[in-house]
Amino acid sequence: MASTADIRNGLCIKFNHDIYKIVEFLHVKPGKGPAFVRTKLKSLTNGKVLDNTFSAGHKIDVVRVETHTFQFLYAEGTEFHFMNNETFEQISLNRDVLDAPDLLKEGTNVMVQINTETDAPLAVDMPASVVLEVTYAEPGVKGNTATNATKPATVETGATVNVPLFINEGDKIKIDTATGSYMERVKE
């Protein structure tokens, strides 16, 4: 058993008869009253996110996990297929378990957290950013903007990302997987 002092991003815990991953947390010490930890938890079984507040010193049940590198092979409906880079064993996960399934390109390496008690995959950690090619973007018109204008662009995985007006079809762009937002254009 651990306490609220051990809470960190990415920690997997048992809570309300389910397994949750801590997405965000904030330790709050008000001027009056006891301290508490405000958390945002994501269910690893159905993908739902809920907010919860733990009082300071509250005991939490931590799930032991191992992290392995897997390569994304292909998507088939709502099932995404991955291969372990060490053992070449293949697993399939539901789309709801993934944080940013629309930004996943075939051949991308991801970190999969596996429950050591049941050997069941729990969560997939995407790389911090991905580089994807723009397949469709409206042409940007000069002079019709005041500041920081963006336009929607479709990338090779089918996701739509807001990009600056100077991005054209065929450009490669770096996308932040946590927010799904444009970071920069990549020159090759």
Q: What is the CATH number of the domain that holds 147?
A: 2.40.50.140
79: left (phi over 0), alpha (psi -120 to 50) or beta: beta
- Cα 91 to Cα 119, 122, 139: the distances in Å are 11, 12, 41
Tell me the pLDDT tens digit for each residue of 15-27. Answer: 888 888 888 999 9
Per the model's pLDDT, the better-predicted residue between 46 and 59 turns out to be 59
Determine the average pLDDT of the residues in 54-59. 89
**Can you give the length of the chain in residues?**
188
If we measure between CA atoms, which residue out of 117, 118, 115, 107 comes closest to residue 83? 107
**Are 91 and 113 members of one domain?**
yes
Residue-wise burial string across 48-86, b where 16 or more C-beta atoms lie within 10 A, e elsewhere = eeeeeebeeeeebeebebeebebbbbebeeeebbbeeee
In this structure, the answer to whether residues 117 and 160 fall within a common structural domain is no
Range of the domain at 165: 129-185
What is the C-alpha separation between 27 and 126, in angstroms, rounded?
A: 26
Judge if 121 and 166 occupy the same domain.
Answer: no
pLDDT of residue 161: 92
Return mean pLDDT, the chain.
Answer: 87
In this prediction, residue 109 has a pLDDT band, given cuts at 50, 70 and 90, of very high
Q: How many CB atoms sit inside 10 A of residue 34's CB?
A: 10
53 lies in the same domain as 8: yes
* pLDDT at site 66: 87
Pair (107, 79) in one structural domain: yes
Residue that terminates a domain, selected from 125, 152, 168 = 125
pLDDT exceeds 70 at position 33: yes
What's the token pair of residue 46?
């159905």
Distance in angstroms (rounded) separating the CA atoms of residues 164 and 174:
12
69 and 121 assigned to the same domain: yes
State what percent of residues in the chain have pLDDT above 70. Answer: 96
Domain identity same for 69 and 120: yes
- CATH code for the domain in which residue 46 is found: 2.30.30.30
**Share of residues in the chain with pLDDT > 90 (%):** 28
> At 142, is the pLDDT very low, low, confident or very high (cuts 50, 70, 90)?
low
pLDDT exceeds 90 at position 144: no
pLDDT (mean) for 127-154:
81
Q: pTM for this one?
A: 0.72
Can you give the pLDDT at residue 99? 78
Are both 114 and 133 inside the same structural domain?
no
What's the rounded mean pLDDT across residues 133-150? 76
Sorting pLDDT into bands at 50, 70 and 90, what band is 83?
A: very high
Q: How many domains, the chain?
A: 3
Which among 60, 80, 106 is the end of a domain? 60
Do residue 157 and residue 143 come from a single domain?
Answer: yes
CA distance 176 to 161: 10
Domain end: 15, 42, 60, which one? 60
